[in-house]
Amino acid sequence: MPNDFEPVAIGIVSISDRASTGVYEDKGLPALKDWLTRALKNPVTFEPRLIPDEQARISETLIDLVDSVGCALVLTTGGTGPAPRDVTPEATLAIATKEMPGFGEQMRQIGLRFVPTAILSRQVAVIRGTSLVINLPGQPKSIQETLEGLKDADGKQVVPGIFAAVPYCIDLIGGPYLETHDAVCKAFRPKNAVRAPKPAA
């Protein structure tokens, strides 16, 4: 049966001095790919990048993924704390045409459910052209919690994850129509923005 959903290119960028030089295994890229594969119905082409904590390199990578590769969505992991080498937010803001502060606010709210040090995270989200770029935390568990939100023992959503708002944001900036598996993350759109399901071929 053919996949009737729009194809999408997604950039996934893990930013770590040590992982990029092979000191330890990168876990950010597999975590991002696994979650997005489970969450999206669309056929996805992943564009993975593993790079060091260097501001110019991060900005160049993001520009390449958006402007040259044509990724509608770019997710980064790592480099968002207060340490001297943590420069992912600065590199992201440097390539932005618009900042989307609500994403960062919600990410910190989710993190504060677990640790008081979540207020030290500086994740940002921005738009560049018709692409959305979001900084995520570094740990695989935190990546999932941030994207998916928190559910109680009965599966009821307690805190919304940020990904619920991503498909509609991409609609508004002219990107592909993303559709999610509700069991993982139910995308929210106003009723007038929801497309009717395509008939099976």
pLDDT (tens digit per residue) in 39-61: 999 999 999 999 999 999 999 99
C-alpha–C-alpha distance, residues 73 and 68, integer Å: 13
pLDDT exceeds cutoff 70 at 5: yes
User: Given pLDDT bands bounded at 50, 70 and 90, which one contains residue 156?
Assistant: confident
| Of 18 and 164, more confident | 164
Q: Are 92 and 75 in contact (CB under 8 A)?
A: no
Percent of all residues in the chain with a pLDDT value above 70, rounded to a whole number: 96
pLDDT of residue 36: 98
pLDDT of residue 197: 65
Q: How far is CA 98 from CA 30, 94, 127, in A?
A: 29, 10, 5
Among residues 126, 55, 64, 70, the alpha carbon closest in space to that of 96 is found at: 126
User: Given pLDDT bands bounded at 50, 70 and 90, which one contains residue 3?
Assistant: low
Residues 108-123 pLDDT 10s:
999 999 899 999 999 9
Beta-ladder partners of 98: 127
What is the pTM for the complete model shown? 0.94
Tell me the Cα Rg of the chain: 16
Q: Are 112 and 119 in contact (CB under 8 A)?
A: yes
pLDDT exceeds cutoff 50 at 200: no
DSSP sequence for 41-62: -S-EEEEEEEE-S-HHHHHHHH
Helix axes 101-112, 140-148, angle to 10 degrees: 120
- Residue written as token pair 């995520």: 136
Residue 107 carries which side chain, given as an amino acid letter?
Answer: M
| Of 43 and 18, more confident | 43
| Of 141 and 153, more confident | 141
Percent of all residues in the chain with a pLDDT value above 90, rounded to a whole number: 81
Among residues 42, 75, 49, the alpha carbon closest in space to that of 144 is found at: 75
